[in-house]
Amino acid sequence: MEIAERLYVGLLHAAASLRAIDAELGLSPSRSSTLATLRYAGALRLGELARREGVSQPTMTQAVQAMEATGLVARAPVEGDGRGCVVTITAAGRTLVRRARARKIAWVRAALDRAGDNGAAALLRAIEALDATA
């Protein structure tokens, strides 16, 4: 297998492991992404949140309703817009995002420890190269 293919397969396996951490915390990939977007971007109108997440507004409406029912997000009306609403992450949602992030970073740290100093340095160079193209 060539280097690019090996790296691709390794990234797929790493992504699956990180998704499994989310699943252990009760987070689907879409819920994890939406909560992270709200955590780091701040409150967003529902339509803008849908756009950023790459889903339709009705799909995001359903997702937000489900997360609101579990206390992870809150909706508030937009002043002067009878139909619009702003979605914010709640304290419980922020706590869940922090827990997931900490567990994922611990998983990466353990992988880097297994790789040793030279392997970790090579992985850092590879990820910096990938980030530069994004």
User: How do the domains of the chain map onto residue ranges?
Assistant: 3-133
Tell me the C-alpha to C-alpha distance, in Å, between residue 61 and each of 8, 56, 86, 111, 124. Answer: 34, 9, 11, 37, 38
Q: What is the pLDDT of residue 73?
A: 98
The alpha carbon of residue 132 and the mean position of all alpha carbons in its chain are separated, in whole angstroms, by 20
Q: Give the residue ranges of DSSP H helices in the chain.
A: 3-24, 29-41, 46-53, 57-69, 91-133
Give, in words, the CATH class of 3-133. Answer: mainly alpha
- At 78, the pLDDT band (50, 70, 90 cuts) reads confident
Q: What is the pLDDT of residue 66?
A: 97
Q: What is the pLDDT of residue 104?
A: 97
